[in-house]
Amino acid sequence: MSIHPFAGKIAPKSSLINVPQLICAYYTQIPDISDASQRVSFGTSGHRGASLKSSFNETHILAVTQAVCDYRKEAKIEGTLFMGMDTHALSYPAQLSAIQVLAANGVQVAIAKEDGYTPTPVISHAILTHNAKGGALCDGIVITPSHNPPSDGGFKYNPPHGGPADTDVTGWIEKRANAIIEGRLAEVKKLPLDEALKAENIIRYDFITPYVSDLADVIDMEAIKKSGIKIGADAMGGSGMAYYRAIKEHYGLNMEVFNDTLDSTFSFMHCDKDGKIRMDCSSPYAMAGLVEMKERFDIAFGNDTDFDRHGIVTKSVGLMNPNHYLSVAIHYLSTHRPQWSRDLGIGKTLVSSSMIDRVAGAVGKKVIEVPVGFKWFVEGLNNGTVMFGGEESAGASFLRKDGKVWSTDKDGIILTLLSAEILAVTGKDPGEHYIELTKEFGAPIYARIDAPATSEQCAVLKKLSPQDIKASTLAGEPIENILVNAPGNNAAIGGLKVVAKNGWFALRPSGTEPIYKIYAESFIDEAHLKAIQKEAQEIVASLFE
């Protein structure tokens, strides 16, 4: 995709969403269930859509929430359901719709006080904290489309393990929700909104205090405070706005928090590569504003709207590539958590950088390579056998200092605070650490290409086999492996990865957009990367013939 003229520039007013129009469409549009794009569909991060496209509206939320209630009965989940939402314009209406259904079904629901916003990792943390005490199992809902454009809405379900629901659960909920819609919502139990908000089973909960006070168990907050480093925290108008303010106050940090007021148009954002507003903290275009400010701070960072992803900005290199920061974080944690067992594994998605493999080998850690999706790290983090789980799209989590689980969903807050800990403890920012790693392990060049794809083309890519690859070399090197299943757990990739000695590429369709993605990496140079990408594109073209 070519770079849009608005990329990296403040979004023009003409591109801002019309919030009343979105909300009106949420309540008035009725999905056409015969149109696949208007059905409930759980991708890698829940159901996402837009009210103006009839793919995210009240009908969807009433149906999917009733389906969650029905699933809870099937699975005998009877504890509190923790519900969070982000700052997208459609999130608050969706939460109100969900409350009407949950209240009518008698589910005890904990929502943030004063209609506050709650990050995805905070919901995971709350579920795990309460389930560790025993008693009836708790679960959660997060209403968020993550970093998607301001026009979008999203709905995620986290079962009692605290992480993203697996496909067996989301498949059940999806099928049930669509059946409910086909039945014109006749099976939905729903209270009038005023009654639902006053219902005894809808409780207002303080999510902030327990999460913030618990951070000292996973991050060396004292070291950050004592160092006095100047921190820039860009809340990016997201659900963690109040959390950064609370963290600053609770731990006495020298931290400036900005973009911490509600603006559901996200008018302060710089446009992404395609000219759209997208709260993608890993994009150098979307993060151009914070990068411009990097000299003001010793370390700076931002998060996407539900705060499950991180973007690290250093004086040394500017915005870090997510793969580079994951490598630094793994190396640092492996040498600065003395209570952790030596035989803990490192989880990575198979489209993450091979630099992680080289770093892990140097510190004596086993790499567990899995398909795309954080759900694959849930079990290892929960049972304390995986010290760190990370994916190429700037999402990760890791264990507490004592080796016990912190969260089983991505936590952008602990990853940003870890960057401050690294600087405070070592005197070098993560960018400087990565430069040192490249001197030891080489300097890989990593890139991702997105291209439009029809549903039929996406279906082709999901069902590839090694036999579909006729080539024996990749950019001049013998092909060493062709993967359609991840080596860490033998789960289907939903695409394909081709590996040579000094480079690789992977093909996979997006789980949320009508595109396919080509990930590629070279440990030689830019020309070698271009050659890998060119051959990958030729392979895709042949598959679509």
Alpha carbon 507 to chain centroid, angstroms: 20
Edge-to-edge strand order for the sheet containing 503-509? Answer: 445-452, 515-522, 503-509, 492-500, 481-485
Q: Are 516 and 505 in contact (CB under 8 A)?
A: no
Q: Which of 51, 54, 146, 352 is catalytic?
A: 146
For residue 484, CA distances in Å to 18, 104, 239, 503 come to 43, 45, 36, 17
Task: Assign 523 to helix, strand or coil.
Answer: coil
Half-sphere exposure of 175 (CA within 13 A, CB side): 7
- 146 classed as catalytic: yes
State the Cα–Cα distance between residues 380 and 405, nearest whole angstrom. 9
Element housing 505 (H / E) = strand 503-509
Q: How far is CA 476 from CA 314, 501, 525, 544, in A?
A: 36, 10, 13, 24
- Determine the 3-state secondary structure of 432 from DSSP: helix
Rounded-to-integer distance, Cα 331 and Cα 438, Å: 12
Percent of residues in the chain assigned helix, strand, coil, to nearest 5: 40, 20, 40
Tokens linked to 157: 């379900």
Any idea which residues carry the catalytic annotation? 146
